[in-house]
Amino acid sequence: MLAYMEQLRKRSDVINTTTISTKKKFTSLETQIQQLMASLPENMRKRDWSMSDLIVRLNGRFLDRPHAQQVGTALRQLGWVQFLDYSSTGRGGRFWQHP
């Protein structure tokens, strides 16, 4: 019984060390947004961005995608401006403009 417990303990130690080493390091949302904009061509950079467009392209700290509130805070810190588009194409949606 003790040998079996020791074997399980060793196996769990191996699993724990591999999961710790495979975790990606989180980069801040501000940095991710700046890198995203730097990687895009000029015409894509200057277009109006919806929150869902941005969230799909960013990584979260704990989940795959960041929360919209965190993305909005990061965008405001970077000088982005939020506005409502009441035109027929915008249909009253909220958009963000790159400074």
Give the whole-angstrom CA distance, residue 92 versus residue 98: 19
**73-84 per-position pLDDT tens digit:** 999 999 999 988
pTM: 0.69
Query: What is the rounded average pLDDT for all residues in the chain?
Result: 84
What pLDDT, on a 0 to 100 scale, did the predictor assign at position 22?
54
3-state helix, strand, coil in the chain (%, to 5): 55, 10, 35
Give the whole-angstrom CA distance, residue 43 versus residue 49: 12
Give the whole-angstrom CA distance, residue 57 versus residue 62: 15
What pLDDT, on a 0 to 100 scale, did the predictor assign at position 32?
92
